[in-house]
Amino acid sequence: MNKESEVRSRLFEYQDLKYRDFNSKLIPTVNKDRIIGVRTPVLRKLAKEFNKADYKDEFLKALPHKYYEEDNLHAFLIEQIKDFDECIFALDNFLLYIDNWATCDMMTPKVLGKEPEKLYYKIQEWVNSSHTYTVRFSVVTLMKFFMNERLDKKHLNLLLTIKSDEYYINMAIAWYLATALACNWDMVIPYIEKKKFNKWVHNKAIQKAIESYRITPEQKTYLKTLKIK
């Protein structure tokens, strides 16, 4: 048995078929046959164990993986990388193999936050990818690491350069805008007032902002007047 098979065998030890059936409905872009049915806390625990194993590097190179959980395990191993450049290298090798929003969004390497200038440069590269989940990862990463005092108009303008009909890209942009409105209303609201983004993103961002507890009732009332019919 090779090392990849050993990892896979461990994953099947924690298989929960009911959870697999439930989870498969949430990630429609993944064939159900690719889902083992392992809960996320278990995957994180296994990632900590495998991170110390001598076959970790071999597993990270074994792309593409067969199962959804192997992808998530891979994502959690990347999260544990402590060196910024090494993490970026690992991400570049892995992102093109991501085929769903869940694997994309759950991967948040803390080391990325230590080099904001270098990270933003990389985000600008990822934004221009032809791969749906690389672009989504760029938007979600921008949201995770560049909010509050790091929020800047150049980030909003960068998102304006994304022209896509992909649902999972546009949903990420809408999510970003709703979050940004909560962080800095005065900076972001002009982009909504001037209808800078396409109709779907615009209206979805308003919807998500209205659902947020961080937006005031007065702001929600105003946002409702800005919907594009």
**pLDDT number for residue 54:** 86
**What's the Cα-to-Cα distance from 153 to each of 44, 69, 115, 145, 177, rounded to whole Å?**
35, 37, 19, 15, 12
Per-residue model confidence (pLDDT) at position 144: 98
For the entire predicted model, the pTM comes to 0.95
Query: Is the pLDDT score of 1 beyond 60?
Result: no
132, 168 in Cβ contact below 8 A?
A: yes
In the predicted structure, residue 147 carries a pLDDT above the cut 60: yes
Dihedral of the CA atoms 17, 19, 21, 24 (nearest 10)? -130
The pLDDT, as a whole number, for residue 170 is 98
Q: State yes or no: pLDDT of 148 exceeds 70.
A: yes
Residues 45-92: tens digit of each pLDDT: 999 999 998 889 999 999 999 999 999 999 999 999 999 999 999 999
All structural domains of the chain: 1-114 (no CATH), 115-229 (1.25.10.90)
Q: Tokens for 78?
A: 């990347």
Quick one: pLDDT at residue 181? 98
Report the C-alpha gap between 79 and 146 in whole angstroms.
18
Decide: residue 190, CB within 10 A, 0-12 exposed, 13-18 middle, 19+ buried: exposed
Q: Is residue 2's pLDDT more than 90?
A: no
